[in-house]
Structures are given as C-alpha cells and as structure tokens.
A and B are shown apart, each in its own frame.
Chain A
Amino acid sequence: MTNKTTPYAIELRDISKRFGAVQANKDICLQVPAGTIHGIIGENGAGKSTLMSIIYGFYEADTGFIEVDGKRVDIRSSQDAINAGIGMVHQHFMLVENFTVLENVILGAEGGAILKGGIDTARVELQRLAQEYSLDIDVDAIVEELPVGLQQRVEILKALYRGARILILDEPTGVLTPQEADHLFRILKALKEQGVTVLLITHKLREIMASTDNISVMRQGQMVAHRETAHTDKEELAELMVGKKVRLTVDKDDAKPSGTFLSARNLSQFDSQGVKRLKNVSLELRAGEILGIAGVSGNGQSELLNVLAGIEPMSEGEIHIAGQVITAKAPKDAAEMRELKMAHVPEDRHKMGLVTGFEAYEAAVLGYHNSPVYNGKILMHRKVMIDECNERMAAWDVRPPNPHLKTANFSGGNQQKIVIAREVEQNPDILLIGQPTRGVDIGAIENIHEQIVKLRDSGKAILLVSVELDEIMALSDRILVMFDGAVVGELDAKDADERTLGLMMANAYNDEEVSA
C-alpha cells in the first residue's frame, strides 16, 4: 500500500454537484494513490460521468475541492485540468476525424502561432512516447481511416503529449472488440509501470476486476464503498452498485417445448453490395422455449432478426409461420408479420424501437397504432392510449410513471421496458428480442430477464439475440452460434460453457477438437 507520507496523485474532498432538483454528486471523497489503476464503477446515472466532468473542468463543483499531488488545484476549465496534468479519454472520442493523428495530437498545444515548428517537435516527441508506452501508430494517418482501437490510442497519446500524469478513461471498452480491449488493458499496465495514474470508469464488472488495483463504487450520486481489487469479487461489487443482492443467474425450470410456431429454411440475404450477409440459416422456434443466438456482433444476427421480422427482404429461403409460407417472391412486411402474431423488440431501441421525440404513451403504441382499439373514425383515442400506458407503466415498473414524458428522457432500462411491454402486451405467439439488456442497469436487467422467462413459461416461442454470453447462457434453452452469417453450431443450454461457445463464436471449435 502507499506510504502515508506520499501524497495521493489525486484526491477529491467532499465534492457535491446539483443540477436543479437532481443531486448528481453528493459529498464525494476519493483518494487515488499515484501509479495505480483505480476503477470507478456504478450503474448508468450513478454520477460517474458528472464526477469526471468536474475533474476535467467541464463543470464546476458546488462545494468541495480537488488536490493533485497534495496541492489544491482550482479547475475551472479543461485548460486548467490539462495544466494540472490531468488527461481524459472520452467515451465518444474528441477527435477531428479528417485531421491526421499528428494534427489531432497538437491541437491546443501547437507550440507557436505557425505550425511548422510544433509539428516537427511533436513528431519526435510522439515517436518517443510511442516507444516508451508501446503505442505504435502512423502519425500521418487520417484519423477516420483508423480502426476504433487506434483512434482511442490517439486520444491516449493526446493526453500524454500534454504531459498528463493522471489519465481518466470513461467507459473505454464500450466501442472496442474484446481483442482491442485486451490490448488497451496491456497499454494501461504499461502506463502504470511508467508512473501514470489511471482512473478507469466503467459499468463492466469483468474488466474492472481484471485490470484495477483499487475500486470505488458509486450509487445514486454517492461514493458508497472503496475496495482493494484483490479483496473483493464480482458479486460483492454488483451488490454495492445496485444496493441489493443481485442474481447474475436466472432461476428457471426446464423448458417444455410443444408445437413449432415458426420454422425457417435456408434463409439467405445479400446486401446492396452483393455480399452474402446471411448464409442458409435454418431454425425452428418452438412454443415454450427460448432459442438463443450467440455470436460476436456483426456476424449476421441483425440480418437474421430483420429478415424474420419482415424489416428487410430475404434473398433465398422460406419461412413457415401460422400456416403460411413466406419466400423472397412472396414476402411479408413488418406490419403483416405482426398480424401473424410475431412481436419484435429491435436491437437498437433508439433507431428502431422508439421515436425518442415522442411522449411515452405515443411510443407505446408504435407498430399497433392502426389498431381499432386506439382509433376512432377520424381521431385517435388519446385517453385510451394514456390510460393503457399508465396501466403498463405500473405493471412493468417504468420510472418515472409519466406517460407524457418524452421517451428520450427515460433511462435505457425504462425505455427498454416501454418497448418490451408494448410488444408483449399484444399477446404474440412469437417474440423476437435483440440485445434486451444493452445499456440497461443491473436492477432492470434482472427484471427484464424474469419477464422473458415468464413469457416462455406461458407458452410463447422466443428468439433471443445477444452479444452478452452471460445473458445467452442464463436465459436460453437451446443455443445457435452464428459466425460470418452462418449457423456454425447448435447446442443444448445444459451442455454450453463459456469456452465452448467462445470457440464456436470464433469458428475455431472444430480445429481445437481435432488438434486436441
């Protein structure tokens, strides 16, 4: 542990911040020893981002102060933060996309009114930094042509170039592939060895356990616990985040599948460039069963969902549903599929699930807005819609239960509940559900998972697409693994483990078996 006489790299004392009626941060104290990786974890809306914005000078705290290396600093702007040796890698990169790496790095630290000199010294300095921290990058590359992982590296270089000794990373792995994320954590370790202090903000338990020295947990604007990573575990952290015991597994009985509601044969789809995105996928959705589709994002799952839901046309194959046959020549659109008692919770609720500018009661009828229940001869029955929305909000515990609030202003979990309630309350036979808990708080995840299992037990057929392996394993009765647009494996949920699924998702399962 740190010697008591050594000052902390950064110390927060009683930081509070209020936005109108919302107390975003309350009496936050935090001590981060120099040269450590410190994790800050909390649910969405727990106040992590506000706190980091205060440290980086976006907001000024109402009360409290910040000390860097034992000295009190007054941070009123990003410039002050930079001068204090604080660098930040934002969740959404703060890069000028059509600039080169070099131009991005020197922006704001050009070293003179004319660029020439600054660019030359920056080139040398970047080479030194790149070697010291193994952050190799082509400094003349245009940023938008770089993969996301490298763009993030530019952000890190930007901070280091400005002499940052304290590096804040806000949800850094949200946009990265698992490989890129691993690489990032190796870089952070290297930075730590060079004496840089790292503040890592995330809501992902797994990576915070794997990479940090100490962890602080935030809940509802307050710092509720500090732990040494070595002396805690995922369950304890999850509990601290939510404030109650969380079950990361779902209790459910074995599935009792009965009749087949939908069977798809050899579904294929070509995109506009003629690339085959979906390759001869066949599957059956059975009553009382959850079929999980596992796979790394972008391996045809979205296309599969869209083709089944009638949003995109199929190129080949056929779907049998409710006594009808749907083919490329005899397609049905999304509205017609709904009439065949198929409901769809799309993967991206902002783009496809909701109109974020609509009030909740309006969003709650989308897709069913032509139903006679909601319509008079000319006008819609506004009161019916609002009453129904009130009932559903109570039943699904949507907070705040206000049908007139714009859907954009609900948290991710509550938006998702609005969408799921809309689809489920129509009593469909088949439910397609994509990424049900993406961007959803842990408390709400539990609730959503329970609802999905309850639906299954009431005899619905459910297709679950998720990139979260934990979710697939917890919910599914049967699992299909997709890779490069094709189904590469099918297994019973009971036989599935993380390693097998992981290998299948990388399409390396058979190789491994052969060589083993």
Chain B
Amino acid sequence: MFETLILMLDATMRVSTPLIFAALAGLYSERAGIVDIGLEGKILGSAFAAAAAASVFDSAWIGLCFGITASVALAMIHGFACITHRGDHIVSGVAINTIVAGLTVTLSMYWFGMGGQTPTLSGDARFLSITLPFADALADVPVLGLIYSELLSGHNILVYLAFAMVPMTYWVIYKTRFGLRLRAVGENPHAVDTAGISVAFIRYRALIICGILCGIAGAYLSTAHNAGFLKDMSAGKGYMALAALIFGKWRPVPVLLACLLFGFLDAVAVRMQGVVIPGIGEVPVQAIEVLPYVLTVLLLAGFIGKAIGPKAVGRPYVKERA
C-alpha cells in the first residue's frame, strides 16, 4: 500500500511538472495584467520545436533552446497584439492556440513526413533521469529509503527545475523591484505610469518570462516525458494550468499545490484504468480525468472563497490624463 502511494506520488511529480511551469508562466503574465489563454498554444509550439530540433541536432539541450525560442516568439506576438496594439487578450490567445495546433502538424508532416509526428528520440536527444547520490544504496532503508530513491531520485533535470522555480518565483514576485512593478502593473497601470515607469516594457518582460517557462513546459512534454512530438500532445495542459492559477489565487505556493493536486488526480486516473471497485464496477477513466475541472469549479464556487485576480487583467492600458 505504502509503495503504491509512493509510486503514485512519483508519477504525480512527473505529471505535474509541465503544469507547474505553465501555471507559473501564467502567473507572471496575469500578474502583469495580460490574460494568457495562449499557454496551451505556447506549450504545444515549444513541444514541437523542441522535439524537431532535438531529433535534428541529436541534443535535448538544443531542443530546449528551440522550444523556448518558439514559445517566446509566440508570447511576443501576443504582446504585440495586446500591449502595443491594445487588442483583446482572449482573441489573441485563442488565435495563437488555433494557429499552433494546425501549424505544428503541418510543419512536421512537411519536414518529417511521419503523419504529424516527429521521429522518436533516444539517447542525448532526451532529458534522462538523474539518480541522486546514494539512491541505490539507501533504497533498502525502510520508509525513508523508498521515499528518497523512488520519490525524490530518478527524475530528469526539468522536474527538479520546476520545483525550484516556485520559491524562485515567490522571491521575484514579492522581494524584487521587478516583482513589485509587475504586481503594480497588473493592479493599476496608471499608478505605474505616473510613477515614471513604462507599463509596456514591464508587460513585455513579463511575457518573455512567460514564454520561457511555457517553452520549458513544452520541451519537457516532447523531450523528457515522452520521446517525440505527437499531434495535440499538450492535451489541455495549458487550460489546466490556468485553472490551477485561479485555484491558487495567483500566488506561487498555492498554485504549486493546485498543480500537484491536479497531477495527483491524473496519476490516480492512470492507476484506476481497468480497476474494478466493489459495488461500482469499473470506473471510466474519463470520470477521473474530468475531476480537476470539476474540482476547480466546485472549490471556486464554494470552498476557497472568491478568487480575485489582478484588477487590471485583460484591460489594455490606454494612457489618459488624470
């Protein structure tokens, strides 16, 4: 039983990683006042770029660079539409998602001719698991040994990076000048402008960070978690990350917990496949897969109170006199 739990938590960490990256990406963006429904598109775009580059150059790291570049480029398109031209954030985000969904498949057919997939990656073209020191030696120690060797050890570098990003983000958002201005710009851009700071510049920088994080999430999907790009492989993770962001009330640590909860439910869903529960019968996988969404709605509706986002989110900043 204990071992099952550890294995499920282990799976949770792996499944949560892209959610954590994407939700933190959304956090930077939305805290700066830019609604980013295009997380999904950025993840997918990066997943494709990373897998394609990794297979061509046979290097996961080069793949990661390409993934990040693609995702940042998409973020800049979003910024150009929303910040410079004061467009509607949702429209721009949806457009990005739609374009990317089509473009990734088209390009991969054109380049690789494998029905919308990229070649299967192996060796250096993937991020491989890291075994922490003494993991094997300690594996037999009761309880702690299992936790160390199974749960903590044996993940790839991006998983550790995801968890490290949470305190990092906390520090940036709450303890630095950039973070203060970022939060201010999402609440009242006029206050930032009259303080002599450029609203657009801060928002663009937030979107660059958002792009980088989404890029890592995408690269993780195609070059670490899987071995290659598949059509629509982001599978709603961007939307799930947005749900986690709202669920966590736009704060780094609660957002992490929300991502872990969603990841755990995902791990449970995998585990429950084909399992027959006495009195109920076989639980349809879909019933468990839908849980994160149902949970978000239910919890937001009643249990965690009102989720109030940054006040100026989604509103283009128009400079006007006082």
Contacts and interface: CB of A to CB of B under 8 A. Distances in A.
B178 A107 contact: no
Interface string A70-84: 000000011111100
Given A58-B321, A94-B188, A95-B188, A78 B176 contact: no
A112 B177 contact: yes
A109 interface: yes
B180 A103 contact: yes
Interface string B32-46: 000000000000000
Interface in A41-84: 49-50, 52-53, 56, 58-59, 77-82
Contacts of A99: 183-184, 187
Interface of B: 175-181, 183-184, 187-188, 190-197, 311, 319, 321-322
List 7 tightest A-B contacts by C-beta distance, closest first: A108-B195, A79-B196, A90-B322, A94-B191, A110-B177, A53-B321, A94-B194
Contacts of B196: 77-82, 108
A169 to B, nearest CB: 11
Contact of A115 (B177, B193, B321, B322): B177
A315 interface: no
24 contacts: A49-B322, A52-B322, A58-B319, A59-B321, A77-B196, A78-B194, A78-B196, A79-B196, A90-B194, A91-B322, A94-B188, A96-B183, A97-B188, A99-B183, A99-B187, A106-B180, A107-B181, A113-B178, A114-B175, A114-B176, A115-B179, A115-B180, A118-B177, A170-B322
B306 to A, nearest CB: 14
Interface string A127-162: 000000000000000000000000000000010000
A98 B187 contact: yes
A342 B26 CA distance: 54
B175 A78 contact: no
A391 B133 CA distance: 89
Nearest to A57: B196
Given A53-B321, A170-B322, A96 B188 contact: yes
Given A58-B321, A114-B175, A115-B176, 13 more contacts: A56-B194, A78-B196, A90-B322, A92-B190, A95-B188, A97-B188, A103-B180, A107-B181, A107-B191, A107-B195, A108-B195, A115-B179, A158-B195
Nearest to B174: A115
Given A79-B196, A82-B196, A107-B192, A113 B187 contact: no
A116 interface: yes
A104 interface: yes
A94 B177 CA distance: 18
Interface string A161-176: 0000000001000000
Contacts, number: 85
A88 interface: yes
Given A97-B188, A114-B176, A108 B197 contact: yes
B32 to A, nearest CB: 13
Interface of A: 49-50, 52-53, 56, 58-59, 77-82, 88, 90-92, 94-99, 103-104, 106-110, 112-116, 118, 158, 170
Contacts of A110: 177, 180
Contact of B321 (A49, A95, A97): A49
A168 B259 CA distance: 48
Nearest to B190: A94
Contacts of B322: 49, 52-53, 58, 88, 90-92, 94, 170
A53 B321 CA distance: 6
A106 B196 CA distance: 12
Contacts of B178: 113
Contacts of A91: 322
Contacts of A104: 191
B166 to A, nearest CB: 19
Nearest to A115: B175
A50 B321 contact: yes
Contacts of A90: 194, 322
Contacts of A82: 195-196
Contacts of B321: 49-50, 53, 58-59
Nearest to A80: B196
Contact of B195 (A50, A58, A78, A97): A78
A79 B193 CA distance: 9
B176 A109 contact: no
A97 B308 CA distance: 13
A124 B187 CA distance: 26
B197 A97 contact: no
Contacts of A49: 321-322
Contacts of B192: 107-108
Contacts of B177: 110, 112-115, 118
Contacts of B175: 114-116
A82 B196 CA distance: 8
A472 to B, nearest CB: 31
A482 to B, nearest CB: 33
A115 B182 CA distance: 13
B320 to A, nearest CB: 8
B187 A97 contact: yes
A114 B177 CA distance: 6
Contacts of B176: 113-115
Contacts of B319: 58
A108 B196 CA distance: 7
Nearest to A81: B196
A370 B175 CA distance: 59
Nearest to A56: B194
Nearest to B179: A115
A113 B171 CA distance: 12
A50 B321 CA distance: 7
Contacts of A112: 177
Nearest to B185: A96
B29 to A, nearest CB: 18
A320 to B, nearest CB: 44
Contact of A95 (B180, B181, B191, B193): B191
Contacts of B190: 92, 94
A412 B276 CA distance: 71
A110 B202 CA distance: 15
A312 to B, nearest CB: 26
A285 to B, nearest CB: 41
Contacts of A115: 175-177, 179-180
Nearest to B188: A96
